[in-house]
Amino acid sequence: MATDDTQPADGTVYLVGSGPGDPELLTLKAKRLLEDADIVLHDKLPGPKIIDMLPDDGCIDVGKRAHGDRTPQWEINERLVELAREGKSVVRLKGGDSFVFGRGGEEATYLAEHGVPFEVVPAVTSAVAAPAVAGIPVTHRDHASSVSFVTGHEDPTKPESAVDWGALAATGGTIVVLMGVTRLPLYTEALREAGMDPDTPVALVERATWPGQQVATGTLETIVEARDEVDISPPAVTVIGGVAGTRESVVEFLRNDYTPSDQHSDENTDD
Ligand SMILES: C[S@@+](CC[C@H](N)C(=O)[O-])C[C@H]1O[C@@H](n2cnc3c(N)ncnc32)[C@H](O)[C@@H]1O
């Protein structure tokens, strides 16, 4: 059913990022809004610990529908508008930061077009946090003075690909790829073909700050093998560049420990 553009909304929608998954990395504001919300719409990416904190009633998983399909974005947009028009305080909870590959921008535009007041609550993005908890800084005075956040969702062999891997290779900075587990062989090859050193360090960080966090390391040439050996699956970020090699010198003393678990499921496949 199409929403009526002329109807005012008494409620407010909060576009809230959850951070990478450790509840202690929620912002104070996110925590307060989650406690005060009439209703929370979330998917699986906030991670099992944060999802467990949400109340059973007043909480809708919009990540998947009955037959395993994803709820289409238009349906989520309409739901947000309807709930705000019922006068509710609505939290739209996304993993990481809602405005980093989180479709928060589309939701904000839709809400504005439909006259619904909203607030954006920024958060710790996995693009920075996942490398960090694995001991990898995305910038480093000796290794990288720029960083690019890229989607690995697109097929680099297609001419219409929106990601210019050749241009990225030429920056000499760190490249952080989100949604890039499946297409790892394609874009590592594209970077090598663009002239990037095959020995460039690469790390994959899966389920950062979730139970069962895993890390695989290698180079542009060896990382696909390392991915398969460690059995990395989504959600994971790929860090490419000299910074990925610095992990080795700190890992012995790194205490970002996330308990291994059997939850190595395919619950989230944002890849
Ligand atoms: C649709 S994007 C959403 C990104 C999110 N808005 C953010 O700022 O982190 C989904 C991708 O984010 C990355 N991701 C999100 N949470 C993660 C985590 N805890 N550990 C590793 N990667 C994560 C993965 O690359 C995943 O495929």
Q: Are residues 106 and 148 in the same domain?
A: no
**Enclosing domain of residue 34:** 12-124
Number of domains in the chain: 2
- Are 190 and 179 in the same domain? yes
106 and 158 fall within a common domain: no
Å from CA of 139 to ligand 1 middle: 19
Does residue 270 carry a pLDDT above 80?
no
Section 208-227 average pLDDT: 97
For 248, other C-beta atoms within 10 Å of its C-beta total 12
Mark whether 140 and 97 lie in a shared domain: no
Q: How far away, in angstroms, is 141 Cα from ligand 1 center?
A: 26
Closest C-alpha residue for ligand 1 atom 15: 126
Contact 176, 148 (CB under 8 A): yes
Q: Which of 108, 124, 140 is the last residue of a domain?
A: 124
pTM: 0.93
Task: Take residue 189 and report the two structure tokens written for it.
Answer: 């090859």
Same domain assignment for residues 210 and 114: no
- 257-262 long-range Cβ contacts below 8 angstroms, 24+ apart: 258/22, 258/133, 258/207, 258/208, 258/209, 258/210, 258/211, 258/212, 258/213, 259/211, 259/212, 260/211, 260/212, 261/211, 261/212, 262/212
Nearest-CA residue for ligand 1 atom 22 is 236
Distance 9 CA to ligand 1 centre (A): 31
Q: Over the stretch 235-269, which tens digit does the pLDDT of each residue have?
A: 999 999 999 999 999 999 999 877 665 445 555 55
Answer whether residue 91 is part of any domain. Answer: yes
The reply to whether 3 falls in a domain is no
User: Could you tell me if 245 and 131 lie in one domain?
Assistant: yes
Mean predicted confidence (pLDDT) in 229-235: 97
Whether 135 and 245 map to the same domain: the answer is yes
pLDDT of residue 63: 84
* Final residue in a domain of this structure, among 73, 101, 124: 124
* Cα–Cα distance measured from residue 104 to residue 9, given in angstroms and rounded to the nearest whole number: 19
Tens digits of residue pLDDT in 72-113: 999 999 999 999 999 999 999 999 999 999 999 999 999 999
User: Which pLDDT tens digit goes with each residue over 121-178?
Assistant: 999 999 999 999 999 999 999 999 999 999 999 878 787 788 999 999 999 999 999 9
